[in-house]
Amino acid sequence: MGPSKKREARKRLGQQAWITLDGGFAARQCVVDDISSAGARITLGEAIALPATLKLAFSRDARTGHTCQVVWRRGKSAGVKFVR
């Protein structure tokens, strides 16, 4: 039997956050719909092209937050995993 692919427990959040693109120069507002220790599901106000990696923070300060890798995209929503 192979290793279990059990998902981390997710917590519904619905909290405003910011994603930072282009090395901190382009900040976009988003909502973190749910979050776990491994990643989050975010929703943007509009469908925009996201890069493979971005920074997610609960303030607009580009020096804080989690570096994330985008793992899926559907319309205005995206799933990201935290890069440690």
Res. 37 pLDDT band, cuts 50 70 90 = very high
- State the Cα angle at 49 between 48 and 51, rounded to 5°: 135
pLDDT at 74 over 90: yes
What pTM does this model have? 0.82
Cβ atoms of residues 55 and 24 within 8 Å: yes
Query: Domains plus CATH for the chain?
Result: 11-82 (2.40.10.220)
| 57-61 own/partner pairs: CB under 8 Å, 24+ apart | 57/17, 57/18, 57/19, 57/20, 58/15, 58/16, 58/17, 58/18, 58/32, 59/18, 60/18, 60/27
The reported pLDDT for the residue numbered 26 is 79
Query: What mean pLDDT do residues 39-47 have?
Result: 94
